[in-house]
Amino acid sequence: MYRLEYDYFKIPKPDLSIFLDVPFDFTVSRLTNDRLGSDREYLRGNIDIHEKDLSFQERVRRVYLRQEENDSNFKVISCAKENGEMAQPDEIFQRIKFVLKQHLGL
């Protein structure tokens, strides 16, 4: 994928990519609840085919978690508390700021 995007298609390589790793139980709870709103109108009452396949969601998550091993400019930030529950937005923001400061050498 790397060679296809950056070598063949010459897509500019980002200086930094951040993956927010959300606890999978949180993802499951959000994807299994009814989700309504104008941002979902494109589905015309149907379920998003990728969102309904939870095993697909977990496989995609694992791919992103492995990406950090292969790319020094790819950072995974855990959005979980120590007990595995979803962290509060401010706590996640602090983690993002920490990674950005490290990356920028601040």
State residue 49's pLDDT score: 54
Give, in order, the Cα–Cα distances in Å from 66 to each of 19, 35, 55.
Answer: 11, 30, 17
Residue scoring higher pLDDT (5 or 36): 5
Write the pLDDT tens digit of every residue in 31-75.
666 655 555 565 555 565 556 667 888 898 899 999 999 889 999
Cα 17 to Cα 68: distance, rounded to the nearest angstrom: 9
Enter the pTM of the model: 0.74
**pLDDT for residue 5 is more than 70:** yes
H helices of 1-106, in order, are: 2, 24-32, 54-70, 89-104
Better-predicted residue by pLDDT, 5 or 37: 5
- Binned at pLDDT 50, 70 and 90, residue 23 comes out as confident
Residues 6+ apart with CB under 8 A from 25: 84
User: Does the pLDDT of residue 26 top 70, yes or no?
Assistant: yes
Q: What is the pLDDT of residue 106?
A: 93
